[in-house]
Amino acid sequence: MMDWTDTFCRVFHRLLAPHARLYSEMVHANAVIHGDRARLLALDPVEHPVALQLGGSEPALLAQAARIGEAHGFDEINLNCGCPSDRVQAGRFGACLMREPGLVADSVAAMIAAVDGVPVTVKCRLGVDDDHDWDRFLAFVDTVAAAGCRMFVVHARNAWLKGLSPKENREVPPLRYDWAYRLKLERPALQVIVNGGIATLDEALAHLDHADGAMLGRAAYHDPYVLHRLDVAMFGGEVRPRHALLRAMRPYVEAQLARGVALKHVTRHLLGLYLGQPGGRVFRQVLSEGAHRPGADWSLVERAIAATGAPAGSAMEAAA
């Protein structure tokens, strides 16, 4: 998610959910090729498995960007066919690609030919504007699957390209999970991941009865502890308290500080950890106010944890 799932965010989410597949922000193929790769493709070894999401619609550029992404260590290259913003529409990529299955197929084929084996996947909508035509959606998937895409992340609503902001486009067009489920039934060989409006552990688990996976966007960011509970529910292990998970970030955070990264770049992703918990507001406040101050360091995070009433940390907890 743009401006959210940078490497600092993904490292935190990995600690919470050791088995989840994580996704980068969308990066345009041109930016991958010509931009500041050290920043745009920054990746920490703990993040795996992690996908790079590309934006674009020129097969040759996407192929080049996919190859670069794989060489940087990403485990999957995902093509965005779901973003409805004006900027994206002007560039003729994102959700408007739902109407150009042939171009998406050519792009996917070029990307697959360019990489050395990582999967090339697609994140899409059900359609754009007032297309509510199952056969058209299925034809999109079939065309792209014929080019070699085996996994589709389906944001299970339409994108309305005229008259809605990107935010409204994540809320107003009605969700139709039944289409994602039906895709899995009719094309069982494809991996179908459901996305859109999944807010709780139970909702995420319920989707797994009908699809291969559930992708959480806003809930994972605003209430990241749900990722931890989901990971434990699916893969076992102990549910760890929030403060223990957070303290496991300490060596990483201190390493970032040592290489000159300001604390705020990491802590902005931590703010939701105590959402709805006693002390959650003050946790957020301590972190968001203090992290901007020059010289802010790990002791600020400890103050924020203390403000929630959690026990003081032990050396063992920090090392866990």
Q: What are the binding residues for FMN?
A: 53, 123, 155, 195-197, 217-218
Residue 260, Cβ density class (10 Å: 0-12 exposed, 13-18 middle, ≥19 buried)? exposed
Q: Which stretch binds ligand FMN (CB under 6 A): 36-44, 194-202, 289-297, 309-317?
A: 194-202
Q: Per CB under 6 A, does 69 bind ligand FMN?
A: no
Q: Does 2 bind ligand FMN (CB under 6 A)?
A: yes
Q: Which of 219, 246, 249, 273 binds ligand FMN (CB under 6 A)?
A: 219
Residues at the annotated binding site?
Answer: 53, 123, 155, 195-197, 217-218
- Interacting span for ligand FMN (CB under 6 A) from 96-104, 186-194, 217-225, 308-316: 217-225
Q: What's the min distance (Å) between Cβ of 83 and ligand FMN?
A: 6
Residue 83 binds ligand FMN, judged by CB under 6 A: yes
Query: Shortest gap between Cβ of 218 and ligand FMN (angstroms)?
Result: 3
Specify the residue, 169 or 267, whose C-beta has the smaller distance to ligand FMN. 169
Contact between 100 and 89 under an 8 Å Cβ cutoff? The reply is no
Q: Which residues contact 278 (CB under 8 A, 6 or more apart)?
A: 308, 309
> Is residue 83 flagged as an active site residue?
yes
DSSP 8-state secondary structure symbol assigned to residue 128: B
3-class state of residue 77 by DSSP: strand
Of the candidate residues 7, 57, 64, 80, the single one contacting ligand FMN (CB under 6 A): 80
Locate all alpha helices (DSSP H) within 46-197, ordered by sequence.
Answer: 59-71, 86-90, 101-114, 134-146, 177-186
One of 29, 126, 183, 198 touching ligand FMN (CB under 6 A): 198
Q: Residue 1 interacts with ligand FMN (CB under 6 A)?
A: yes
Please identify which of the residues 83, 96, 124, 149 carries the catalytic annotation: 83
Cα 20–Cα 214–Cα 233 angle in degrees, nearest 5: 60
Quick check: 25 binds ligand FMN (CB under 6 A)?
yes
Q: How far apart are CA 274 and CA 222, in angstroms?
A: 10
Q: What single-letter DSSP state applies at residue 301?
A: H
- Tell me how far CA of residue 82 lies from CA of 63, 151, 158, 189, in angstroms: 19, 15, 9, 22
Taking CB under 6 A as the binding criterion, the range among 41-49, 66-74, 212-220, 249-257 that sits at the site for ligand FMN is 212-220
Residue 181 corresponds to which amino acid?
Answer: Y
CA dihedral 187, 193, 194, 199 (to 10 degrees): 160
* Subset of 99-138 contacting ligand FMN (CB under 6 A): 123
User: Which residues contact ligand FMN by CB under 6 A?
Assistant: 1-4, 25-26, 53, 80, 82-83, 123, 155, 170, 195-198, 216-219
Residues labelled catalytic: 83
